[in-house]
Structure 1
Amino acid sequence: MRSNALSPMRSSGTTAASATTLSILPDAAKLVFRGKTEAIEAAGAHFGVKPSLEACRFAAVGGRSVYWLGPDEWLFQAVNEDPIEVFGGMSVALQAQACSLVDVSHRSDGIAVAGPTAALVLNHGCPLDLSLKAFPVGMCTRTVLGKASLLLSRSEEHVFHVDVWRSFAPYVWQFLDEARSLS
């Protein structure tokens, strides 16, 4: 596997000032897929997760998830799996499809933001309405936090996952850690 840009950071518990925790998510194989409906159905069948065709939604089964990124673009993620093996299997399964598959496993790191004030902490730098009604469980979108672009998803009512490019990961971690003290 790769070294995590957040390795100097440590998962942190709640503080007296905040009921929000930050934790580093495990490494994952990450593949960006682009293709039409027939190709995405074949990709999902091989991967074991039926991709959402609804905008800004994700589907998960076990340690595998598929995130809708655009009308013909998805992110396939397999936690604690070898990117070479996942990519190889997907490539073989999609040989007959007109599509694109790119391994981006080393591009980003993941941070979990959890607790009853998680949305408030994120809103210190994210312009989205993160209320449960506007951003329900199962939703994902590309957005910004401060000056960093990222993929934000909500896996549980009080749990958000941030997928951020490695070069911005320490900045995002520090931003979230400081925002926790203000919440």
Structure 2
Amino acid sequence: MADTVLSVPRRSPLAGAAGGLAAATRSSGGAVRLAELPFLAQVNVRLDAKGAAADAVGLALGLSLPLEPNTVVRAGELRALWLGPDEWLVVGPPDTQRDLEDRIRAASGDEHVAVTDVSAQRTTLLVSGARARDLLAHGCPLDLHPRAFGTGRCAQTTLARTQVVLVARDEPGAGFWVLVRSSFAGYLTDWLLDAAAEYIQGA
């Protein structure tokens, strides 16, 4: 008898919170927009920024790995986030992590490069709207004024005492990505909904 493999639908860490996030967005009158962006590909890359592999990997990905601290380089749907002098996080569309890994490994050749798929470790929250910065400022120690943390910036920081990677997206009005470990995603979502109550009509 042939083996039967049951396909289990993939479930995001915040699947159960989608309704609450959508309701808060609708009720805020444009002040805040909250949503999960599940299953984004996330590949951690460590290499010598001054070595030959850095240029080769950049060419393979179609973007230059950012060398300025806490900045983001974007090419289409692909982004490279600076996490440290020899560390980046490459973020792409869902289900592209294997392709990204293969391209990075092939480009690095014999150079010493560490490539790790961390897609399953985190999910991504979108925080946008007219009061997005004010909402995040309730729980983030960074100065989020556009002069200090403008578009195209990123940082490893805390939000509501939770370790996150915060990204100020570079599309007009696109707000922020909050990359948070899956095990803390529910807690952080509850905190965001509570902190957003002052912007929600009838709350």
- Scaled by the length of structure 2, what TM-score is found? 0.84
| Aligned residue runs from structure 1 range 122-133, under 5 A | 122-133=136-147
Counterpart-to-counterpart distance in 1, 2:118 and 2:189: 21
Equivalent position of 1:170 in the other structure = 186
Counterpart-to-counterpart distance in 2, 1:41 and 1:68: 15
Counterpart-to-counterpart distance in 1, 2:41 and 2:10: 10
Unmatched 5+ stretches in structure 2: 1-8
Unmatched 5+ stretches in structure 1: none
Is 16-25 or 131-140 further displaced after alignment?
16-25
Is the 8 Å Cα contact of residues 43 and 117 (structure 2) preserved in structure 1? yes
Aligned length: 183
- Classify 1:182/1:17 alpha carbon distance in 2 versus 1 (closer, same or farther; 3 Å): farther
Q: Displacement of 1:18 after TM fit?
A: 7.1
Question: Percent identity between the aligned chains?
Answer: 30
Q: Displacement of 1:17 after TM fit?
A: 7.7
SS at match of 2:60: helix
Counterpart-to-counterpart distance in 1, 2:99 and 2:30: 40
The alignment status of 1:23 with 2:31, answered yes or no, reads no
The alignment status of 1:92 with 2:106, answered yes or no, reads yes
Q: Which has the higher helix share?
A: 2
SS at match of 1:126: coil
Equivalent position of 1:106 in the other structure = 120
Is the 8 Å Cα contact of residues 39 and 120 (structure 2) preserved in structure 1? no
Aligned letter for 2:13?
A: A
Counterpart-to-counterpart distance in 1, 2:98 and 2:112: 21
Aligned letter for 2:69?
A: A
Q: CA RMSD in A?
A: 1.8
Is 159-168 or 78-87 further displaced after alignment?
78-87
Q: Displacement of 1:92 after TM fit?
A: 1.9
Counterpart-to-counterpart distance in 2, 1:143 and 1:25: 20
Counterpart-to-counterpart distance in 1, 2:127 and 2:120: 21
Q: Deviations for 1:17-39, whole angstroms, at most 9, x for unmatched residues?
A: 87101011142221111111222
- Which consecutive segments of 4 or more residues in structure 1 shift more than 6 A? none
Aligned letter for 1:116?
A: A
The alignment status of 1:9 with 2:21, answered yes or no, reads no
Please identify the structure whose Cα radius of gyration is greater: 2
Q: Which has the higher strand share?
A: 1
Is the 8 Å Cα contact of residues 26 and 79 (structure 1) preserved in structure 2? no
Is the 8 Å Cα contact of residues 18 and 180 (structure 1) preserved in structure 2? no
Counterpart-to-counterpart distance in 2, 1:4 and 1:164: 13
SS at match of 1:55: coil
Is the 8 Å Cα contact of residues 17 and 181 (structure 1) preserved in structure 2? no
Aligned letter for 1:171?
A: Y
Q: Displacement of 1:168 after TM fit?
A: 0.6
Q: Deviations for 1:37-93, whole angstroms, at most 9, x for unmatched residues?
A: 222222121111212100000011111100000111000111123322321232222
Equivalent position of 1:44 in the other structure = 58
